[in-house]
A and B are shown apart, each in its own frame.
Chain A
Amino acid sequence: MTTKELAERLELKGLTRMFEKPVSGVYISDMVSDVIANAKAGNVLVTLQVHNNVIAAANLVDVSAIVITRGRTLPSEAISLAERAEIPVFTTGMDSWQVASRLYEAGIR
């Protein structure tokens, strides 16, 4: 599955331009330090966190996409940073558990 297919399947709203990348796995966390320690390259990061640092941490571990839950959005500075890092960021009204369920149903483990 790619980030584009993922967005279509989960009906995610894009906050950045689309950067189509392969998705391999998912990591759910609201802690930057936890993302650095445990997320893997290619993962979709599901988070409530909208601080610039979450983009910098996601970039460091090279996640394929970020899904912001509960309808939250990113400040323009963070959107710009994500675009420069070519990390697509999406938002959804679902909470993290609902997103996790949908990702599981979509075959992402």
Chain B
Amino acid sequence: MDSATANHRYEMVNVRPGYVIVEHEVFSKQMRSYFCAQAQPPVEEYREGPKIWKFSGMAQSFQFDLRDRTSGAVTKYDELLGLVPYSGCPTDSDIYRLGDIAQAEKIWIYVALTYGPVEATRQPDWLEKIRILNRYFGERLTTPNKKILILPDYFNLYKEFSHGQILADFGLTAMEETQAP
């Protein structure tokens, strides 16, 4: 621990590198994603009942936990797919409009996307995790008056997300492949 972080309550621990895998169902075009920690991520298509899932793309990413230094409690974020900055959303979307208003007050909005069902983002345990995530990033800021506000995905961004919006490494390095659905 260095002096800059000595008074921080939370620390990022158990950082696990891996990949966000995006796949689509061949007939319905439904898309979904999951985290893969394997060194060689699977890219083969596979059958799940009547559905056929095909690899669409992947991005280097990571999973992590946050540890409360005061209590030792560890909060896991396995369901967190990534953070979407409001600035990466369409300018005619509600999240962009809200973000733009907040940004004028030096509040930067990011939306936490999850792998799981959107309904789960309204559950108390996820909201508590969001609070902890906000504390983690907030207590690290050194720019005066600046605030980071991470919100649960009440904007249905998961359904609409495109690779480039998420703060993962989609299309940003030469180390992943991308195929159109």
Contacts and interface: CB of A to CB of B under 8 A. Distances in A.
Asked if A and B are interacting partners, one says: yes
Nearest to A42: B142
A21 B164 CA distance: 29
Q: How large is the interface on B (under 10, 10 to 19, 20 to 34, 35 or more residues)?
A: 20 to 34
B167 A56 contact: yes
B10 interface: no
A53 B88 contact: yes
B143 A84 contact: no
A31 B64 CA distance: 16
Interface in B54-89: 60-62, 64, 83, 85, 87-88
B169 A31 contact: yes
A49 B141 CA distance: 23
Interface string A74-97: 000000010011100000000000
B172 A56 contact: no
A5 interface: no
A32 B137 CA distance: 16
A33 B168 contact: yes
Interface residues on A, range: 20 to 34
Contacts of B110: 56, 60
B140 interface: yes
A47 to B, nearest CB: 10
B173 interface: yes
A21 B85 contact: no
A36 B167 contact: yes
Given A33-B168, A40-B5, A56 B142 contact: no
A52 interface: yes
Given A33-B167, A49-B172, A85 B108 contact: yes
Contacts of A61: 137, 140
Nearest to B108: A59
B85 A30 contact: no
B4 A32 contact: no
A31 B173 contact: yes
Interface in B132-152: 137, 140-143, 146, 148
B137 A81 contact: no
A34 B171 CA distance: 15
Closest 8 CB pairs of A and B: A56-B85, A41-B142, A62-B141, A33-B61, A41-B140, A31-B169, A33-B62, A51-B172
16 contacts: A24-B4, A31-B173, A32-B167, A33-B60, A41-B4, A41-B140, A51-B164, A52-B88, A52-B164, A53-B164, A54-B172, A56-B87, A57-B167, A60-B137, A61-B137, A62-B141
